[in-house]
Structure 1
């Protein structure tokens, strides 16, 4: 990893020590408009942590307002204390903060995983089980933050991490308030503003209901593969006008297989006026759970099922799906994608997805698997043909 510039051109390198020798930088995990995120070793606890360094010099240069940096420094001190109050398994915990040569930094738990943004986009949607699981977990995190009167203000796929166990964790609570002090928006802000509530476009600070609107945008993308509003040329003002004045096409009209109750919830979350949205994250959780179905088994293992044409999530399969996801991740760490163990596990996961009540998700998984098998083994390989046969079977299935 190339060295990253810091305050006044100061270079951050692997091996650099922060916090009076406690934290040793390992590698840069990502760059942003406000600085860098590094993987580091906490020598005191002997564990990996993530360190977000805010480059005040860069922010001052970008905004041409010397006083802004001092204002942001004071705000940073206030915000990190607010973030540290959040106690939730679905929010990345803030452990420490400090300053080094003009750079203030936050120390937080390291999440071994990828952002939600890597799982979808450009027409790629999630399965119903993933959508329900991660939406509920994000809601739990928002609810826990609301309990201590903390608002995120920048809920988007890039700020939702999926860890190695397949669970969601929210990052960057409060940092959007620092960006709000900027007079101008950088070119990279467009993706963030695809998920911003109408009141935020009206220059209002927003509250927990604004976070729920942003969650609605994320859920819309989970279900359809695209945010509710976008512009071909990336024009931010056009996107803003849509958030202010237009309602998106309901998810079932964009992509087959979306339960009506889930679609209604998403459209409620996207209401233009905050008072017309669900009023608390826990109310949203209750409505998401309505998509789940637990069969009541009889003595012979049979039990009542939902109607055949009703898309749902059968909770009997959730643990097996999550376990398979974890096993596939571990197999991929040890083997190439074409290894028989990886391919076999993906077949099993696709089939379980269909059995859980998500025929569309199963068809998508089998289609991706078939295309991969064609590339690995050739178009006539039995594994590719089996995957496409299974895809056709689930497409024809009513649920």
Structure 2
């Protein structure tokens, strides 16, 4: 429930208490921005339609109460199978915690708390609402000292069938009125009886009735007398003890007439004039219990109220007036005779009683304090002191070691030899048996354990990968059947977080061996059989063509199966052809870099080879063709496309061929030099013929040389 938003409005913050019927959580009202207390009905009651109907009706009735000493009811609702009541949140402690920590309380404090409880009851009774479950657990004390009574009307929803439900009645039966213990209809005075027990517990630190079972405690409410408060705590004023004695009368007619009457008595009980008032006396309760019916349904026997001391005095004061009507006679004779006879009888009785008491006089002893000792040691010590141990011994769950005495009925007092003492002995800590939670959903188990009373810190979990659904409990500690104490146990669960996931690797294009290694490295498995299917392909034999059912990159659980399709080689109708490419350098006598690229059925633009040539060179290029396909070879020389050759599938089938040559270029001859004609010069006089003849001879030579060169 922690972190859950109940009704779309109340955010559950923490669990702050629990009872037999419900769990109580601290929550935050998102709508109004305030903290509230949310009481959630336990799961074992949600299918009891009668109970749920009364639960809702009574909670709605309690919401009508408006009083400073009553916890306010804000809302009642249901979400799925969760029934809840939203109440005022009181920052502080409940009265039971205060009693446990520091009882007996100071008289003034106890009276102040009781007055506020009584004031709340008066308001509730005026509105025809009977609480029926007044106990310290339902009394909240705020940090400011304000007393708040809670659970108004809730107890009325408990039917007689719940008396055996664990936790439902066991905690409340110590505060039941006799009529409530019989399981019959109760009224306002039943609440006053319970308040009397709460006041008794605040002032003495103990409960008036204890027993081994709820039934035995209920019978004591009906039949037994309780140890008077001033016997347990002599510091209690008599006026306050009188209030407890009157409120705890077994006969409802002898209790206070209303909460208002009891409140008035509480308001004045600590006045100086009342502290040492006369103790109230009533006729023995045992006379009343003989006429009370057995514990069963039906009407409550309402015996006539016995006269109290005040009523008896009033009755006696009326007798002289009634005797005045008698006839006047010899008034002095009869009284003298009666007085004389009475004195004689009293004298004889006095001397006889003294002799009898002298014979029966027994010694008195101090009651040994045996709390903290073993039962055997306590019994021996008490018997050695002349006291007796009441049977049966009352065993109660306790933090004390087993067989250790945790309480005794009488202590710090002197009693007659032979007096019986009741001992309360530890049966050891309350133990629970660990259930088998393996294979159950962790969230459900955790909620159930929190309902038992464990805290969130006591429940730990570790998530591990497993083939079980996520959230399933795989193992537990303690193991099933082991005993544990709720307040000390630390429970650990190993919880499945499902299968571990991995990204599917890309297997296509890899060799069969590479693909198998990748599958194993990723903790995957080959599919049914050997997980490998072979089929013809233009890819090289052994190359993975396909993977299924998981594509590359998808998230799959470790251990998942994957199958691969592998190439078994070329199809039967495939054909291969070899181009013999003859290539020469770009220039005869020079060198060129040649690169051949081809495309065929096996792929596109596949670089076949690359080399440097200096003369004619034959380069074989093997290609593969399928029906309707063609192969293409591209020859690059010195980085430029030199030529392209193609073959179709049909040409290869027909055996057609042609030369594949890529010639270069022949070397270029150097051009002869061109002579420039000489510029004509003016001949000098007398030398023109000689110079002219000489020039003609060089020109020939030159011409002859040119022709020769040519």
Q: Please state which band the TM-score falls in when normalised by the shorter chain.
A: 0.5 to 0.7
2:10 alignment partner, one of 18, 23, 35 = 23
2:104 alignment partner, one of 111, 125, 137 = 125
Q: Which residue does the alignment assign to 1:58?
A: 44
SS across alignment from 2:164: coil
Question: How far apart, CA to CA, are the structure 1 residues paired with 2:70 and 2:108?
Answer: 21
- Check if 1:154 corresponds to 2:133: yes
- Check if 1:178 corresponds to 2:166: no
Structure ID, larger Rg: 2
Decide whether the 8 Å contact of 2:269 with 2:275 is kept in 1. no
Q: Which residue does the alignment assign to 2:25?
A: 38
Give the aligned CA root-mean-square deviation in angstroms: 2.0
Q: Which runs of 5+ in 2 are unaligned?
A: 278-710
Decide whether the 8 Å contact of 2:237 with 2:275 is kept in 1. no
- Check if 1:225 corresponds to 2:205: yes
- Check if 1:200 corresponds to 2:180: yes
- Check if 1:190 corresponds to 2:190: no
Q: Which residue does the alignment assign to 1:390?
A: none
Structure having the larger proportion of residues in helix: 1
1:242 alignment partner, one of 202, 220, 241 = 220
Structure having the larger proportion of residues in strand: 2
C-alpha displacement of 1:43: 1.3
C-alpha displacement of 1:205: 2.4
Cα-to-partner distance string for 1:84-106 (whole Å, 9 max, x where unaligned): 11111111010111101211110
Q: How does 1:1-399 map onto structure 2 within 5 Å?
A: 12=1, 14-19=2-7, 21-55=8-42, 57-59=43-45, 69-121=48-100, 124-180=103-159, 182-188=161-167, 189-231=169-211, 234-293=212-271, 306=272
Decide whether the 8 Å contact of 2:63 with 2:72 is kept in 1. yes
C-alpha displacement of 1:78: 1.4
Q: Which has the higher contact order (CA 8 A, sep 6+)?
A: 1
Cα-to-partner distance string for 1:279-321 (whole Å, 9 max, x where unaligned): 111111111122234xxxxxxxxxxxx489859xxxxxxxxxx
**Number of aligned positions between the proteins:** 276
Q: Which runs of 5+ in 1 are unaligned?
A: 1-11, 61-65, 294-305, 312-399
Decide whether the 8 Å contact of 1:123 with 1:226 is kept in 2. no
C-alpha displacement of 1:122: 8.9
Cα-to-partner distance string for 1:255-274 (whole Å, 9 max, x where unaligned): 12111111011011111111
Decide whether the 8 Å contact of 1:121 with 1:226 is kept in 2. no
SS across alignment from 1:77: helix
Q: Which residue does the alignment assign to 1:329?
A: none
Cα-to-partner distance string for 1:103-152 (whole Å, 9 max, x where unaligned): 11100000101110011149931111111100000000000101110010
Distance 1:26 1:309, change over 3 A: closer
SS across alignment from 2:36: strand
Question: How far apart, CA to CA, are the structure 2 residues paired with 1:308 and 1:104?
Answer: 49
SS across alignment from 1:238: helix
Q: Which residue does the alignment assign to 1:359?
A: none
Please report the TM-score for the alignment, with normalisation by the length of structure 2: 0.38
SS across alignment from 2:32: coil
Question: How far apart, CA to CA, are the structure 2 residues paired with 1:163 and 1:107?
Answer: 18
